[in-house]
Amino acid sequence: MYLDCAVFENYRNIVHFPFSFDPGINILYGKNAQGKTNVIEGIYFFGSGKSFRHAKERDLIREGENHSQISIAYVDAVRENKMSVRFFRDMSKEMFKNGIKIGRTSNFIGNFRAVLFCPEHLAIVKNDPSERRAFLDHAISQIDRSYLSALMEHKRLLEQRNALLKSENETKESFWMTLDILSERLAVCAAAITKIRAEYLKRLFDHACVLVQQMTEGREKIDVRYLSHIAGDAIEELFDKKGNEERYRRLMYENRKREVLAGTTIAGAHRDDFEIRLLGKNAKIFASQGQQRSIALAMKLAEGEIAREESGEYPVFLLDDVLSELDGERKKFVLSELSGRQVILTTCDEGDFSEIDEAKRIFVENGTYSYR
Ligand SMILES: Nc1ncnc2c1ncn2[C@@H]1O[C@H](COP(=O)(O)OP(=O)(O)OP(=O)(O)O)[C@@H](O)[C@H]1O
Ligand SMILES: [Mg+2]
């Protein structure tokens, strides 16, 4: 899949610009605060249905204007498609695909597919478990629509169960009956989620491990450990949904008195995490900034690989400000790995990419763009 063109109108600091992209490498370069990330953000909106910078949609409208619009044309294995989105000041928006209005964001996403990698993604390696869960949940929901509904069901059940645990009604018989019912439902739902996450993680790291080794000519080896409340070291144990159910059931039963005291569900899929290890040590603590960046990038490339296995074609790779800080060897590997795929990347220093001949170069200055 590749993005052929994108027309931005009154989006952030862009008054109007019709971009045309190459199916290969595209480099947006320019000084800080000129409008490079704005382009990546606008394109990625078509992949995820929201701003990856967590911006409110009205912030996407150029100051002083009433609405903004982005239209794209992309080519997939079947045909060329057109999509557009219009944002209004009152926070409403209109979305279209091939001229037909789309009502729900869930029908808007899943058409144009992109993998984004930006500096914030280092958080996957460095930060709290919630960042890693968010990464997994996002990546899986790109390829499995039913996963999103399972997550929503899980969230709803967890909220109900926590509200009950907080209610201080444990002297009533109905309290324990309701707790049993909610625990049972939560166990079934959590078991499915942990199974899907574990399978995806295994698949992801099968690719990512190879990529990190290639990137460093075999010097660096990574592996992953799934951290859940219901299994030991072997990730494969979690592939058994019925087994997971049983273990979650038991866990909630054993914890129930403590949970009533705490007023919350102590253990479960909502606390799932994973540990990335570099040469056997926790990468969060032992890996250098560049090593962490390489690992996160390998995970993103692996995400693209899985997307291709699922859909038959590569997504578009959007790399915002992430390659410049890798050393020459790693950067070269990443760019050669990405050959044959479309890449749209940003950098402040175009010189970092001077050795690449076949790239489309776009100079960015104050919301205006010129091809060089
Ligand atoms: N709604 C808006 N209306 C007008 N200008 C905006 C709006 N939102 C953001 N901007 C401007 O867009 C610019 C930031 O653009 P962007 O984040 O794309 O920069 P960048 O080129 O990626 O910079 P860096 O290299 O620092 O990452 C800022 O000057 C900001 O003031
Ligand atoms: Mg930027």
| Beta strands per DSSP E along the chain | 2-11, 14-20, 25-29, 67-75, 80-88, 93-97, 100-102, 114-117, 222-227, 273-278, 281-282, 316-320, 343-347, 359-365, 368-371
Q: Which ligand is nearest to the CA of 29?
A: 1
Query: pLDDT digits over 127-152, tens only?
Result: 999 999 999 999 998 888 889 889 99
Question: How many Å lie between the centroid of ligand 2 and the Cα of residue 33?
Answer: 7
Residues in the chain predicted with pLDDT less than 50, given as ranges, are none
Residue 13 and residue 62 in contact, taking contact as beta carbons nearer than 8 Å: yes
- 273 alpha carbon to ligand 1 midpoint, in Å? 34
Alpha carbon distance 39, 232 (integer Å): 44
Residue 365 CA: which ligand is closest?
A: 1
Q: How far is CA 147 from CA 17, 104, 205, 230, 244, in A?
A: 37, 17, 20, 20, 17
H or E stretch covering 215: helix 173-215
Q: Would you give the end-to-end CA distance of the chain in angstroms? A: 25
Q: Are strands 273-278 and 114-117 parallel, antiparallel or unpaired?
A: unpaired
The atom number, within ligand 1, closest to the CA of 30 reads 21
Select from 199, 215, 222, 237 the least CA-distant residue to 275.
222
pLDDT in the model for residue 103? 92
pTM for this structure? 0.91
pLDDT at res. 61: 97
Nearest CA to ligand 1 atom 13: 33
E strand or H helix that includes residue 250: helix 241-262
Closest ligand 1 atom number to CA of residue 63? 3
The token pair at 321 is: 């400000």
* CA dist list (Å): 356 to 26, 351, 369: 11, 10, 20
Report d(CA 365, CA 36) in Å as an integer. Answer: 9
Residue 290 has phi, psi (to 5 degrees) of: -65, -40
Domains of the chain: 2-113+315-371 (3.40.50.300), 124-285 (1.20.1050.90)
Say how far apart CA 230 and CA 254 lie, in whole Å: 12
Residue to mutate, 11, 13, 363, ligand 1, most ligand atoms under 8 Å from C-beta: 13
Question: Distance between CA atoms of 77 and 31, rounded to whole angstroms?
Answer: 36
Per the listing, tokens 């990529």 go with 211
| Per-residue model confidence (pLDDT) at position 232 | 78
At 213-255, the pLDDT tens digits run 999 999 999 999 999 999 877 899 999 999 999 999 999 999 9
pLDDT at residue number 327: 86
What was the pLDDT predicted at 107?
87
- What pLDDT does residue 354 have? 84
Q: How far is the CA of 250 from the centre of ligand 2 (A)?
A: 48
Å from CA of 320 to ligand 2 middle: 7
> Among all chains, which residue has been given the structure tokens 């996407």?
60
Shortest-distance Cα residue to atom 14 of ligand 1: 33
Atom of ligand 1 nearest to the CA of 321: 27
Query: Cα(302) to centroid of ligand 1, in Å?
Result: 30
Ligand nearest to the CA of 59: 1
Q: Which ligand is nearest to the CA of 118?
A: 2
The binding-site residues of ligand 1, defined as CB within 6 angstroms of any ligand atom, are: 12-13, 30, 32-38, 59, 61-63, 321, 348, 364
Closest CA to ligand 1's atom 11: 13
